[in-house]
A = this chain, B = another copy of it.
Amino acid sequence: MKKNVIVGQSGGPTAVINASLYGVVYEALMQKEQIGTVYGMINGIEGFLADTIMDMNSVEQSGELELIKTTPGSFLGSCRYKLPEDLKDDVYPLLFKKFEEYSIGYFFYIGGNDSMDTVSKLSRYAAISGSEICFIGIPKTIDNDLVLTDHTPGFGSAAKYVASTVREIAIDASVYDNKKSVTIVEIMGRHAGWLTAASVLARKFENDNPVLIYLPESAFNTDTFIEDVKKALEHTSNLVVCVSEGINDGNGTFICELASDVGVDTFGHKMLTGSGKYLENLVKEKLGVKVRSIELNVNQRCSSSMISATDQEEAIQAGISGVHFALDGITGKMIAFHRTEGADYSINYVPEDVNLICNQEKTVPPEWITGNGSDIGQAFIDYALPLIQGIVNVPEENRLPKFAYRK
């Protein structure tokens, strides 16, 4: 008897997480000889536990599958649900009983670190319980912080949004170029500065804005920062500075913690806001210059106007490859991206052990950070430029709220 597929999305959305969903569903529907029904779990594993699933065939037949390729956000809805560490917990037999009820043979989970943790636990429980279900992780995160992969789908589009937006902010800030000003742009990234580093791609010439870029990977010192700003204002009247939300003093204290209380999310991550706001007030106080701060906020991960064609294509391919590997009996793996050595940029899709990936964090290599922690070097530019290439023209009709078309 043919086994069924189930696919889910988890964690924060990206501009191309639905492109990966498209890849999985498109390819699974193609493999009619080996696969029965293709299910989507609504709101991830948490929704699956509540039996909220849908038949993805209807999405394909309505023509909506093509549409979701360029729709940001998670079409199936998401969750932030952490499975218990203890594999003896009651939830595991419950989950696998449900898998059996739905005749699931192949399980795909599209997400970041925490989603790979789910894939890890489910595949480990399958091993000890004798289940033959294949569990495959499809990477997704704007943070680009997964290990064992060159980069992750979602990063390229977010990086393109950051670079384009910072460039437009720099143009906007420069219209009063007979007056000195400082604009501080706060970019997403708790511990990994990949997205903030992408702001370097906004530059068109040497010393162009953003002149100063600070990542969480370098210890941030407020005195040095003020000196950096003072020096930069000597050659750039309308200075743009980019900072990660997670810049910290190098000893675990976030700069924004100097200002305000912070909360903690389900996974124990500190919820940060306001490193930009904090520095805005600092610059005002220390230098008395005109200053504003801008938080790029969720548009970094949900803007369809800046989808990178390269990112979109790779997100689809990750989904397609996942289906192929699962049909080959591969389990407990994440589809990793290996960059081909040599002149031309290309990617091989390789299954890597999800247990080595979950709960790890890949940060920007120290040697790619220059200017004593205030700049980004050419190595990063060479790495990131291929990832933002290509324009995707998104039809205006396509920008639908999700539940306008999820029946």
Contacts and interface: CB of A to CB of B under 8 A. Distances in A.
A43 B176 contact: yes
Contacts of A112: none
B204 A172 contact: no
B294 A176 contact: no
Nearest to A236: B403
B178 A71 contact: no
Number of this chain's copies in the assembly equals 2
A301 B303 CA distance: 17
A404 interface: yes
A168 interface: yes
Contacts of A175: 9, 12-13, 73-74, 77-78, 402
Given A168-B303, A171-B402, A393-B393, A178 B47 contact: yes
A298 B174 contact: no
B204 A404 contact: yes
B404 A169 contact: no
A172 B396 contact: no
A168 B304 contact: yes
A357 interface: no
A72 B168 contact: yes
Interface string A169-193: 1111111111000000000000000
A205 interface: yes
Nearest to A168: B302
Contacts of A208: 401, 404
A305 interface: yes
Nearest to A46: B178
A171 B47 contact: no
A222 interface: no
A305 B204 CA distance: 19
A121 to B, nearest CB: 21
A348 interface: no
A400 interface: yes
B176 A78 contact: yes
Contacts of A172: 13, 72-73, 298, 301-302
A399 interface: yes
A376 interface: no
Contacts of A74: 175
Given A13-B172, A168-B303, A77 B401 contact: no
Contact of A299 (B168, B402, B404): B168
B404 A205 contact: yes
Interface in A193-242: 204-205, 208-209
A9 B177 CA distance: 13
A356 interface: no
Contacts of A46: 178
A165 B304 CA distance: 9
Contacts of A396: 391
A249 to B, nearest CB: 25
Contacts of A80: 176
Contact of A79 (B71, B178, B209, B403): B178
A164 B302 CA distance: 11
Nearest to A298: B172
Contact of A169 (B209, B298, B391, B393): B298
Interface in A264-292: none
A176 B298 contact: no
A247 interface: no
A140 interface: no
B399 A168 contact: yes
Across the A-B interface, give the 3 residue pairs with the lowest CB-CB distance, nearest first: A73-B171, A172-B302, A78-B175
Given A172-B301, A173-B298, 10 more contacts: A73-B168, A73-B171, A79-B176, A164-B305, A164-B399, A168-B299, A175-B402, A204-B404, A294-B299, A299-B299
